Structure 1
Amino acid sequence: MKKLMLAAAFAIVATTAQAAEPIEGNWKTASGETAAIGKCGSAYCVTLKTGKYAGKQIGRMSGKGAEYSGSITDPAEDKTYSGSGSVSGNSLKMKGCVMKIFCKTQTWSRL
């Protein structure tokens, strides 16, 4: 019985730790640039670190755990869209939408 309780407690802790995946860090974008995501006030800012638009903030998201929402900017067109991010392990699925109907999704990899 004691081993069963210990195993159950371990499973709960492992599940909780896995569910709270941080968005903060450096990510390789779908186009190959590096983007840094870090705290900025009560939100998380997405800033390009490499490439043609290095230094440009391209997003601002709020949330916790694995789900985030906010805005994301296409630096080439300088247009901002409603956005969301979903972290799963070393992958970040970034989604930008116009009128919540026309959406484009990219998967970024943690560096």
Structure 2
Amino acid sequence: MTPRILAATAALVMLAGTSLAAEPIEGNWKTESGATAEIGKCGPAFCVTLKTGKHAGKQIGKLSGSGDSYSGEITDPENDKTYAGSGAVTGNALKMKGCVLKVLCKSQTWTRL
């Protein structure tokens, strides 16, 4: 291969890898209630902390995972009950789900800010 073809091939491989990478869960998200939640690293997991609204400053979740799929615990700030939780990132949307016994589930879709 000539150096030009080799360089072009390497550039295409790098661009393809970048475009296929999953969106990170870290960042600020607008919840369905209108509050802002911040998701950031805390040890090996990601902590979900409300930044605005009635429960500002309260940690409401801890999720582990990578790519576009996360699981852990989610706490309803209204009643302080904790549920098995999951999150899935698709572009600028984060679908959060909390379940009791994997049967009774509630979902919300948050938007990246």
Matched positions, count:
107
CA deviations over 1:71-103 (Å, ceiling 9, x no partner): 000000110000000000100000000000111
Which blocks of at least 5 consecutive residues in structure 2 are unaligned? none
Given candidates 72, 75, 86, the residue that maps to 1:84 is: 86
Q: Deviations over 1:4-28 (max 9, x none)?
A: x8497367325432x3x10000000
Distance in structure 1 (CA, Å) of the matches to 2:28 and 2:89: 13
d(CA) in 2 for partners of 1:24, 1:33: 16
Q: Percent identity?
A: 67
Q: Which residue of 2 aligns with 1:55?
A: 57
Give the distance between the partners of 1:61 and 1:26, measured in 2 at CA. 15
| RMSD over equivalenced CA pairs, Å | 1.8
2:71 match: 69
Q: Is 1:13 matched with 2:14?
A: no
CA deviation vs aligned residue, 1:28-47 (integer Å, no higher than 9, x gap): 00100000000000000000
TM normalised by structure 2 equals 0.86
Pair 1:10–1:42, CA change in 2 (3 A): closer
Distance in structure 2 (CA, Å) of the matches to 1:16 and 1:64: 14
